[in-house]
Structure 1
């Protein structure tokens, strides 16, 4: 049996940035709804396993998808403005609404300056597992955490996963989105 038969795949199409018709060409400056219409035209006769992602402008339908597709491993939904272009190299203004579970984590260290740390090094759960780095802190949260770390005792430089960090003794606990993306990252949402 060929590998493709043993491991079937689907290709989900999100958008059209370059139309194959030279008269249309680069579609990035067009509103999303126009790009979506082009996508639907291009895939009208193709069918699975190549298919467009579902889209709706009905909030109730989007909510039902968000709730119902979690069991299938779909990590969430993306909200886009219908009139938005696709600006290359800049924030596109999309909102990703992901399924995520929050857990508490003990801060055991940080990278960057103490008053405004870049990342936290965390011990997640009661298991005493390996220290793990968070994603980069948002600026406002970095200042808040920096203030909370002001009185923490530094116990030297350490490494986790080959990366250096400043180890601290503190009882500071933060809430994190555990494994909220494809890469199993720890995103700090707030201090406890």
Structure 2
């Protein structure tokens, strides 16, 4: 297996599957991260494939306790005032390495693991979920306790999954993910992984913006069905995060939407979440940068 790896993604559904054979995991509101324990260190990969090791050194360092050859998939999460804070994780991911170290001192991160992709013996993505989870728990049992690397909570009891969904939202739990116990780890989106969120959103590609690159006013996104849509005006925090991405992407080009609005088109390998209920309108509402 070579760095980076294409991650598995869950299909967004409105209700959890109830047929036998499904397992359920708590879905945390953090940053998707893959941890690679190499022969001489640890590398961290974002969902996009970017190397983000410098942003999350506080979880990379305890990863050195893992056996070389282990690759783990999970979520980098930051707890603020006893609540998982996506905003804090987003600030960390968008910061410089020096600023990331300062943020780590204020609010250390956790790496919450839900899958193992490789062991020292080789690639295990083709094994069933229940086997991979047992392997993952075995690997994590060798870490010092307490550790900043932890296993996600999982159950095959639907009533427990419903209790998690209904009671944990105030702690920063975003929802519940259901995984078929027999399913292998498949890159890309798969119907054998399903997720239910408290806020129904869809992922859209970031393809452009209006206003200055240093403070974009609105975004242009590509929806899953291929339509381009202008978003509503974005707030200052999101604008600053997008501006940091635009600074890395280089200059764009002026163009127009089919509805006539002018915007600057860019090539950025990032997604944004938009409210699902707004996608049928001319403008959509962005909830956050992925």
TM-score by length of 1: 0.55
Change (3 A) 1:185 1:44: same
* Residue ranges of structure 1 left out of the alignment (5+ in a row): 103-109, 124-128, 131-154, 164-181
Candidates 175, 178, 185, aligned match of 2:274: 185
Shift in Å at residue 188 of structure 1?
3.5
Matches of 1:186 and 1:101 in 2, distance apart? 6
Contact 1:86 1:92 in 2 (8 A): no
**1:32 and 2:132 aligned:** no
Q: Secondary structure at the match of 2:276?
A: strand
Residues 103-122 of structure 1 correspond to what in structure 2 (within 5 A)? 118-121=227-230
Candidates 153, 166, 170, aligned match of 1:71: 170
Deviation by residue 1:121-167 (Cα, 9 ceiling, x = unmatched): 466xxxxx57xxxxxxxxxxxxxxxxxxxxxxxx951136x46xxxx
Deviation by residue 1:68-112 (Cα, 9 ceiling, x = unmatched): 22101121111000000112356363111111179xxxxxxx999
Change (3 A) 1:90 1:72: closer
Larger Rg computed on CA atoms: 1
How many residues are paired up? 132
Shift in Å at residue 12 of structure 1?
0.6
Residues 1-192 of structure 1 correspond to what in structure 2 (within 5 A)? 3=102, 4-20=104-120, 22=121, 25-46=122-143, 47=145, 48-89=147-188, 91=190, 93-100=192-199, 118-121=227-230, 157-159=260-262, 162=264, 183-188=272-277
Contact 2:165 2:175 in 1 (8 A): yes
- Quick check: which one's strand share is greater? 2
* Residue ranges of structure 2 left out of the alignment (5+ in a row): 1-100, 202-219, 235-257, 266-270, 282-290
Q: RMSD value over aligned CA atoms?
A: 3.6
TM-score by length of 2: 0.38
